[in-house]
Amino acid sequence: MTGDVVEQLERVTERFERSPGLIGLFTVLLTENLDPDAPLHDRFLGRYQDAVAIVTEGIRRGQNAGRYRTDLDPAVKAVEIIAFLYGMETSWLLDPSIPLTDVFRGYASTLARELALSPR
Protein backbone atom coordinates (compact mmCIF):
# COMPACT_ATOMS: atom_id res chain seq x y z
CA MET A 1 0.00 0.00 0.00
CA THR A 2 1.80 3.07 -1.21
CA GLY A 3 -0.93 5.69 -0.99
CA ASP A 4 -3.10 7.01 1.79
CA VAL A 5 -4.77 4.21 3.76
CA VAL A 6 -8.24 5.78 3.57
CA GLU A 7 -7.97 6.43 -0.18
CA GLN A 8 -6.82 2.85 -0.78
CA LEU A 9 -9.72 1.51 1.27
CA GLU A 10 -12.23 3.47 -0.80
CA ARG A 11 -10.92 1.74 -3.96
CA VAL A 12 -11.22 -1.83 -2.65
CA THR A 13 -14.72 -2.19 -4.10
CA GLU A 14 -13.14 -2.06 -7.58
CA ARG A 15 -11.43 -5.37 -6.78
CA PHE A 16 -14.74 -6.90 -5.67
CA GLU A 17 -16.43 -5.84 -8.89
CA ARG A 18 -13.48 -6.78 -11.13
CA SER A 19 -12.87 -10.26 -9.71
CA PRO A 20 -15.83 -11.62 -7.75
CA GLY A 21 -14.71 -15.19 -8.45
CA LEU A 22 -11.32 -14.55 -6.89
CA ILE A 23 -12.96 -13.06 -3.80
CA GLY A 24 -15.03 -16.22 -3.48
CA LEU A 25 -12.09 -18.54 -4.07
CA PHE A 26 -9.94 -16.69 -1.54
CA THR A 27 -12.66 -16.76 1.12
CA VAL A 28 -13.42 -20.46 0.66
CA LEU A 29 -9.74 -21.44 0.70
CA LEU A 30 -9.10 -19.26 3.73
CA THR A 31 -11.90 -20.81 5.76
CA GLU A 32 -10.87 -24.31 4.68
CA ASN A 33 -7.34 -23.67 5.95
CA LEU A 34 -7.96 -22.08 9.34
CA ASP A 35 -6.76 -25.17 11.20
CA PRO A 36 -3.00 -24.92 11.88
CA ASP A 37 -2.55 -28.42 10.40
CA ALA A 38 -4.33 -27.55 7.12
CA PRO A 39 -2.09 -27.62 4.05
CA LEU A 40 -2.38 -23.90 3.19
CA HIS A 41 -2.67 -22.56 6.73
CA ASP A 42 0.84 -21.09 6.87
CA ARG A 43 0.42 -19.44 3.48
CA PHE A 44 -2.85 -17.77 4.49
CA LEU A 45 -1.47 -16.79 7.87
CA GLY A 46 1.54 -15.23 6.16
CA ARG A 47 -0.69 -13.36 3.72
CA TYR A 48 -2.77 -12.05 6.60
CA GLN A 49 0.32 -10.96 8.53
CA ASP A 50 1.72 -9.27 5.42
CA ALA A 51 -1.57 -7.39 4.92
CA VAL A 52 -1.54 -6.19 8.53
CA ALA A 53 2.10 -5.10 8.16
CA ILE A 54 1.35 -3.17 4.95
CA VAL A 55 -1.60 -1.33 6.50
CA THR A 56 0.38 -0.71 9.70
CA GLU A 57 3.16 0.88 7.66
CA GLY A 58 0.66 3.00 5.75
CA ILE A 59 -0.78 4.33 9.00
CA ARG A 60 2.70 4.89 10.39
CA ARG A 61 3.67 6.86 7.26
CA GLY A 62 0.57 9.02 7.75
CA GLN A 63 1.55 9.60 11.38
CA ASN A 64 5.13 10.48 10.45
CA ALA A 65 3.90 12.88 7.77
CA GLY A 66 1.67 14.65 10.30
CA ARG A 67 -1.60 13.57 8.63
CA TYR A 68 -2.71 11.04 11.27
CA ARG A 69 -2.95 11.08 15.05
CA THR A 70 0.00 9.58 16.84
CA ASP A 71 -1.89 8.52 19.95
CA LEU A 72 -3.23 5.34 18.39
CA ASP A 73 -1.37 2.11 17.74
CA PRO A 74 -1.03 1.58 13.97
CA ALA A 75 -0.79 -2.22 14.35
CA VAL A 76 -4.05 -2.42 16.29
CA LYS A 77 -5.85 -0.18 13.81
CA ALA A 78 -4.45 -2.26 10.93
CA VAL A 79 -5.92 -5.45 12.44
CA GLU A 80 -9.30 -3.70 12.60
CA ILE A 81 -9.08 -2.62 8.97
CA ILE A 82 -8.11 -6.09 7.74
CA ALA A 83 -10.93 -7.61 9.82
CA PHE A 84 -13.35 -5.21 8.13
CA LEU A 85 -12.06 -6.25 4.69
CA TYR A 86 -12.26 -9.98 5.42
CA GLY A 87 -15.71 -9.56 6.94
CA MET A 88 -16.98 -7.57 3.98
CA GLU A 89 -15.70 -10.19 1.57
CA THR A 90 -17.70 -12.87 3.37
CA SER A 91 -20.78 -10.68 3.81
CA TRP A 92 -20.79 -9.68 0.14
CA LEU A 93 -20.43 -13.29 -0.99
CA LEU A 94 -23.37 -14.23 1.21
CA ASP A 95 -25.47 -11.27 0.05
CA PRO A 96 -24.28 -9.59 -3.17
CA SER A 97 -27.08 -7.02 -2.87
CA ILE A 98 -25.12 -5.24 -0.10
CA PRO A 99 -24.50 -1.64 -1.21
CA LEU A 100 -20.77 -2.28 -1.21
CA THR A 101 -19.66 1.18 -2.31
CA ASP A 102 -21.82 2.87 0.33
CA VAL A 103 -20.57 0.56 3.09
CA PHE A 104 -16.92 1.09 2.15
CA ARG A 105 -17.40 4.83 1.75
CA GLY A 106 -19.01 5.00 5.20
CA TYR A 107 -16.25 2.97 6.86
CA ALA A 108 -13.55 4.97 5.09
CA SER A 109 -15.18 8.22 6.23
CA THR A 110 -15.35 7.00 9.83
CA LEU A 111 -11.75 5.82 9.63
CA ALA A 112 -10.62 9.18 8.21
CA ARG A 113 -12.26 11.02 11.13
CA GLU A 114 -10.72 8.61 13.62
CA LEU A 115 -7.23 8.93 12.16
CA ALA A 116 -7.38 12.70 11.63
CA LEU A 117 -5.43 15.07 13.80
CA SER A 118 -7.63 16.90 16.28
CA PRO A 119 -8.24 20.53 15.42
CA ARG A 120 -5.97 22.76 17.47
The per-residue pLDDT for range 84-94, each reduced to its tens digit, is 999 999 999 99
Q: Is 119 helix (H, G, I), strand (E, B) or coil?
A: coil
Q: Are 21 and 96 in contact (CB under 8 A)?
A: no
Instruction: Tell me: pLDDT of 1 over 50.
Output: no
Per-residue confidence band for 10, with pLDDT thresholds at 50, 70 and 90: confident
Domain spans, the chain: 5-115
As a whole number of angstroms, the distance between CA 50 and CA 48 comes to 5
**What pTM was estimated for this model as a whole?**
0.90
As a whole number of angstroms, the distance between CA 6 and CA 15 comes to 16
pLDDT, one tens digit per residue, over 19-75 is: 989 999 999 999 999 999 999 999 999 999 999 999 999 999 999 999 999 999 999
Q: Which CATH number fits domain 5-115: 3.30.2310, 2.40.50, 1.10.357, 2.60.40?
A: 1.10.357
Q: Are 51 and 30 in contact (CB under 8 A)?
A: no
